[in-house]
Amino acid sequence: MLFCPKCGSILRLKDKAGKKVMWCSCGYNSIVDKQKTDLEPKSKESSSTPSRRMAIVEPIEIHPQVEANCEKCGCKQAYYWTQQTRSADEPETRFFKCIKCSYIWREYA
């Protein structure tokens, strides 16, 4: 991803008269050099810099915990969230995810 040197916005790619041009809404334009382009995917053999990889060590749960009985493992704690799955004049659906076995179930009101 390339950024505009004038305003810092993300540069966008477009074809102009058969040439690839990076442009920004502030008015900055730059012709893309075919030898320097980072826009096309590279194979691992052609990459001279080592790639960085991120690993998720532990998933982060953002939902609140409530008391709810899991049908699978019998745990009494679960994560909780709601979502409107039916029409707007009907109540929302409550979803639960067991903190122990990650089993997900729903409850209709």
d(CA 38, CA 16): 18
89 assigned to active site: yes
Identify the residue whose tokens are 């690993």: 55
**Catalytic residue, candidates 15, 40, 58, 89:** 89
Place of tokens 């008391």: 67
Catalytic residue, chosen from 61, 71, 90, 107, is: 90
Distance CA(104)–CA(108), nearest Å, equals 14
Judge whether 92 counts as a catalytic residue: no
- State how far the Cα of 98 lies from the Cα of 26, in Å rounded to an integer: 49
Residue with tokens 């916005």: 9
Catalytic residues: 89-90
